[in-house]
């Protein structure tokens, strides 16, 4: 999939170094690790760049080797990182994950990170002149009071661009914070993306109709139901698209892939079903790898499936090889 769009996209949030076991067995026995880079918003930025959009990531890293690795990786994926602050005193965040097709346990080491010191002044580093979309997530709101202030400023400022908000519920980050603010933030966006399970946990319902009632302001609400499918609510119309069958290597990052595929198609003005299919196809690229951001599926796969009849879509089965 490739999209030729005139406006750029800005993704705002924290990106960290990721350590993944490079050998099987319990984590306490692992001696060899693979270093990667991950963060919900920069993942989306990288996906969007690979889909052909002009993509920027805005955040903060430490003036350390991990920070340099983050910048090199994101920049190397074709994303503009000129709006990233290099903090001279605070470290780059870190998380450790185990790759498992049933769900990958994650341990965060991000308290006091460079990104946790972000505030509304970060918006001054962004030229919004040619921006079509600003993408944020609920993760940022949990990092610190100043990060919450940043999201409020980003969502309340006068704008000519769209703002998308991905709930991205991370319970561990909200242990000593009040998550009710997430409803306020989501309702200030133009496009809201949320998993039905996480919406149930945070807002008491994952039902698309009830979420529409809870969130009257956004024009578009996208409710993901895992391996089953996704419902799009827009202008009083509910559109459901079942997910593709995929041989899952591990699921971390698939939600970011879906968000990027959907948002690129949304900006391109595609109809609801094709937008949802674009999201599913980009998510599938993540599910087929242990990396947070997988390489896009080849055009000979995505092209026919975007326009396939319902029976062909339902019969498709994506495997790691072939």
Contacts of 54 (CB under 8 A, 6+ apart): 5, 7, 8, 9, 80, 130
Contacts of 166 (CB under 8 A, 6+ apart): 40, 44, 135, 136, 137, 138, 192, 193, 194, 255, 256, 259
For 121, phi then psi, to 5°, come to -65, -20
CB 46 within 8 A of CB 77: yes
Q: Is 230 left (phi over 0), alpha (psi -120 to 50) or beta?
A: beta
Which one of the listed residues 87, 166, 256, 292 is annotated catalytic?
256
CB 193 within 8 A of CB 259: yes
Q: Which helix or strand (DSSP H or E) is residue 274 part of? A: helix 272-287
CA 224 to chain centre: 13
For 163, phi then psi, to 5°, come to -125, 125
What residues does 18 pair with on adjacent strands? 36, 95
d(CA 317, CA 215): 35
- In the DSSP assignment, the letter for residue 11 is E
Contacts of 61 (CB under 8 A, 6+ apart): 15, 67, 68, 70, 71, 84, 85, 86, 87, 92, 114, 115
Q: Is 256 a catalytic residue?
A: yes
Contacts of 125 (CB under 8 A, 6+ apart): 58, 83, 85
Q: Which residues are catalytic?
A: 256
């Amino acid at each position: 999939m490739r999209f030729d769009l005139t406006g750029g996209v800005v993704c705002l949030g924290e990106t960290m170094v990721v350590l993944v076991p490079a050998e099987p067995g319990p984590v306490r026995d692992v001696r060899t690790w693979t270093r990667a880079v991950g963060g919900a918003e920069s993942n989306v930025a990288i996906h969007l760049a690979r889909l052909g959009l002009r993509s920027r990531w805005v955040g903060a890293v430490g003036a350390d080797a991990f920070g340099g690795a983050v910048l090199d990786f994101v920049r190397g994926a074709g994303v503009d990182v000129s709006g990233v602050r290099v903090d001279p005193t605070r470290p780059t965040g870190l998380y450790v994950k185990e790759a498992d097709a049933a769900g990958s346990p994650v341990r965060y080491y991000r308290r006091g990170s460079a990104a946790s010191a972000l505030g509304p002044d970060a918006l001054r580093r962004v030229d919004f002149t040619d921006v079509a979309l600003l993408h944020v997530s609920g993760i940022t709101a949990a990092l610190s009071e100043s990060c919450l202030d940043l999201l409020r400023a980003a969502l309340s400022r006068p704008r000519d661009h769209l703002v998308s908000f991905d709930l991205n519920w991370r319970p561990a980050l909200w242990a000593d914070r009040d998550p009710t603010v997430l409803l306020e933030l989501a309702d200030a966006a133009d496009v809201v993306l949320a998993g039905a399970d996480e919406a149930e946990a945070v807002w008491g319902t994952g039902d698309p109709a009830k979420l529409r009632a809870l969130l009257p302001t956004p024009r578009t609400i996208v409710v993901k139901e895992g391996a089953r499918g996704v419902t799009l609510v827009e202008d009083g119309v509910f559109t459901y698209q079942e997910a593709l069958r995929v041989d899952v290597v591990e699921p971390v990052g698939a939600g970011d892939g879906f968000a990027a595929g959907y948002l690129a198609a949304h900006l391109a003005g595609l109809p609801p079903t094709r937008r949802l299919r674009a999201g599913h196809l980009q998510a599938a690229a993540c599910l087929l790898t242990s990396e947070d951001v997988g390489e896009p599926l080849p055009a000979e796969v995505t092209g026919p499936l975007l326009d396939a009849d319902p029976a062909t879509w339902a019969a498709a089965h994506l495997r790691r090889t072939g």
